[in-house]
Structure 1
Amino acid sequence: MSTIAAPSQAQRLTLFYREFIGKKIAMALSGVVLFGYVVIHMAGNLQIFAGREQINSYAAQLHSSAPVLWGARVVLLTAVLVHIYTAISLTRQSRAARPEGYRKTGQRHPNLPARTMLFSGLALAAFIVFHLLHLTTGTVHPQFADLKPYDNMVSGFQMPVVALFYVLSVALLGAHLYHGAWSMFQSLGISHPRYTPALKKFAVAFAFLLTVGFSLVPLAVLFGVVR
């Protein structure tokens, strides 16, 4: 009598990911990784207000262990790729399941961040590429100095176009994070009428504080508070 081999763990995960709920959970989990990163990254950036020595020492410490640094980069890159691929896949799946004529006249639209999540996500991906080339590799930074983030940010953000581009980009990031945080709670099953209002307020506060936190550095340099 022939036997059918049970699917492996990898096969079960693949089959689960193909389902709509699987993709939603993948979006949520990759979002958790990205949320954690932006909080840590913002905290690192804000050390510029403690002076040149503090933030330059912080950068040197981060680069002191290559295995840890590259391990974190691999995890982050994986989360970004999963997040982008899954977002595109979910958008296609939703559009395929909803014919063009389905929409009713006078139907209420969801909020703007929700309707523009794919666009804002792709725009942020482009911004991240520029940010890496500007302040990580120095490829597009005319005065880049290795492991000297203080000087790199000061010389970089003294250009009004660059500083305002960063502020607009982090404002877009805030809008994306607001809806992303709320969707993440729902996808992970953290939703209940009793504490849903508190979760919504948390999503708003989280997005607002990150937007302000990331905007402080370019604006402080632009207006001469940090020089």
Structure 2
Amino acid sequence: MVVTRTRSPIRSNVGLKAVMAVTGIILVLFLIAHMLGNLKVFTGETSFDHYAHWLRDIGKPLLPGVWFLWILRAVLVVAVVGHIAAATALALRARAARPVRYAHRAKVQGSYAARTMRWGGVIILLFVIYHLLDLTTGHLNPVGDPSNPYSNVVADFAPERWYVTLFYTLAIVSLGFHLRHGAFSAFRSLGQQTPKGERRARTAALVFAVALCAGYLVVPFAVLTGLVA
């Protein structure tokens, strides 16, 4: 008797795209919430520090200490790993589906965002690691005082540490390209396949990516120029 193994639905192309969509939504929602929290730096040191300490107290007394943040971090790690794994699997299957290169194949002109997804993802990953060691654990921050988040941010993007702002900008711009491509792909998956629909999808994806990038970049440049001190 021959036993036929069926592939799990989640491992099919449709399933992997669903994984990318769900994990992408989780990550985008976090990015929006994190951006809004960062913007509270413009409300002053007391307000920003109060917000940062409030994050540590979410869930009390049901959850002890900073458990909520660790649960959130665990969810984000799972989402990132799932997103990368699904994207990698789909890319490998697409390459395997066309194993032989054509001798006179014309060069495909994809969007800049699509062509830079790989190195952009590497930059973002390196930045996330640095960001955690900088503003979460404090190991790479000049102040490194968890009780004073506002001072950590101001010290981090001080003019003499311009290279940190440069790296931050590079990572956020890479994130913007990634979001623009991802949002456009999501709109297409929702049925925006007509020329008019694709134009709208491209515009919406661009506006969203630019708005999110601006929301993140305004903080370090405000510190760099002395607007926040």
- TM-score normalised over the length of structure 2: 0.86
Name the SS of the counterpart of 1:63 in structure 2: helix
TM superposition shift of 1:213: 1.1
Aligned partner of 1:131 in structure 2 is: 131
| 2:192 equivalent in structure 1 | 191
Q: How does 1:1-227 map to 2 (within 5 A)?
A: 15-65=8-58, 66-102=66-102, 104-158=104-158, 159-187=161-189, 189-193=190-194, 195-227=197-229
Cα deviation, residue 192, structure 1: 4.4
- Return closer, same or farther for 1:182/1:104 CA change in 2, 3 Å cut-off: farther
Distance 1:111 1:138, change over 3 A: same
Paired AA for residue 56 in structure 2? H
Q: Is the 8 Å Cα contact of residues 144 and 152 (structure 2) preserved in structure 1?
A: yes
Q: Distance in 1 between matches of 2:36 and 2:100?
A: 45
Q: Distance in 1 between matches of 2:148 and 2:102?
A: 55
Letter of the aligned partner of 1:123 in structure 2? I
- Summarize deviations over 1:47-96 as a string: whole Å, max 9, x none: 10111011111111110033432322222111111011112222222222
User: 5+ residue gaps in structure 2?
Assistant: 59-65
Q: Deviating runs (4+, > 6 A) in structure 1?
A: none
Q: Matches of 2:45 and 2:191 in 1, distance apart?
A: 42
Higher relative contact order (CA 8 A, sep 6+): 1
CA contact (8 A) 1:120 1:173 kept: yes
- Cα distance, 1:190–1:75 mapped onto 2, change above 3 Å: farther
RMSD of the TM alignment (CA)?
A: 2.1
Shift, 1:190, TM fit: 4.2
Tell whether the 8 Å contact from 1:87 to 1:118 is kept in structure 2 after alignment.
no
Q: Which runs of 5+ in 1 are unaligned?
A: 5-11
Superposition TM-score, scaled by structure 1 size: 0.87
1:104 & 1:181 partners in 2: Cα distance? 33
The farther-off stretch of 38-47 and 95-104 is 95-104
Distance of aligned partners of 1:94 and 1:44 in 2 relative to their CA distance in 1, 3 Å threshold? same
